[in-house]
Amino acid sequence: MLNEFEIHDFPAIAVLPYAEPARADPAAAALAIRKISKAYNFNVEVSDLVKDAKFIEREFDQKSRLTRKSLQRMYA
């Protein structure tokens, strides 16, 4: 998309925070929103995104632990 803007001489900018490639990453979205809102001096509430990020991280950690335990029993 940025390339198309450049071709048509349309001013554009992108905010690309690191995002977890394997799953939804609301923490990355919250970071991008914070940076944009700071640059343009307005406030956007991101607490729901942060809460969702913590929930996803807990779920991911729990499933990772279960997978490790399962693999350890399989190869023990």
Domain that holds residue 7: 2-75
Look up the pTM and report it: 0.72
In whole angstroms, give the CA distance from residue 9 to residue 50: 36
pLDDT at 72: 87
- d(CA 26, CA 33) in angstroms, rounded, equals 10
The position carrying tokens 């996803």 is 56
CB 59 within 8 A of CB 22: no
Query: Does the structure show a pLDDT above 80 at 33?
Result: yes
Residues 6+ apart with CB under 8 A from 31: 17
Does residue 24 have a pLDDT over 90?
Answer: no
> Domain tally for the chain?
1
pLDDT in tens, 57-73: 999 999 999 999 888 88
Q: Are 55 and 22 in contact (CB under 8 A)?
A: no
